[in-house]
Amino acid sequence: MAIRTYQGMTPQLGERVFVDESAVVIGDVQLGADSSVWPLTVIRGDMHRIRIGARTSVQDGSVLHITHAGPFNPDGYPLIIGDEVTIGHQVTLHGCTLGNRILVGMGSIVMDGAVIEDEVVLGAGSLVPPGKRLLSGFLYVGSPARQARALTDKERAYFSYSASNYAALKDLHQAS
């Protein structure tokens, strides 16, 4: 795995974190316990902080970055991700905030200043534009993402199932 220090900031990995050897994690990044970072993912905290909660999975080919502070955005935007979040393959998260128990579908993009509240499913290929807020308890789809319907009880139960599944899978990878 490529864990890189940048300007004196070294990524901090919680207990039992798995980072695939082809992934790159740089700078001011914290990964919570039992989280996993899969092949060819880039998590780049070089100009602001990235915080990823426990039992969160970042799938293959995803890119996680921040928005730096500057004249057009004095505070910048860190990237904040909660617990039990499943981030699908080739997702781009940029300077946004994700709550707990979320599924981000494959190929989705979430832009600067966007907020996804707890217990949301974002369908594959969706685009969440800058500053948009996705309310808790709904499925969102499209480009730009639109609220499609309320989540079912079965879908809500899937969040913890998915987190447990990827925590078990990363344990198998670490053991081999």
Determine how β-strand 138-141 pairs with β-strand 146-150.
antiparallel
* Domains detected in the chain: 2-175 (2.160.10.10)
- In the chain, how long is the greatest CA-to-CA distance? 48
Mean of pLDDT over the chain: 97
For the chain, the first-to-last Cα distance in angstroms comes to: 15
Q: What is the mean pLDDT of residues 144-156?
A: 98
pLDDT of residue 164: 96
Rounded CA separation 98/104 (Å)? 10
A 10 A CB-CB count for 167 gives 20
67-91: pLDDT as tens digits: 999 999 999 999 999 999 999 999 9
| Assessment of whether the complete model's pTM goes beyond 0.95 | yes
- For 11, the 3-state DSSP assignment is coil
Cβ contact 64:57 at 8 Å: no
**CA–CA gap between residue 60 and residue 19 (Å, rounded):** 11
Q: How confident is the model at residue 1 (pLDDT cuts 50, 70, 90)?
A: low
In degrees rounded to 5, what are phi and psi of residue 101? 55, 70
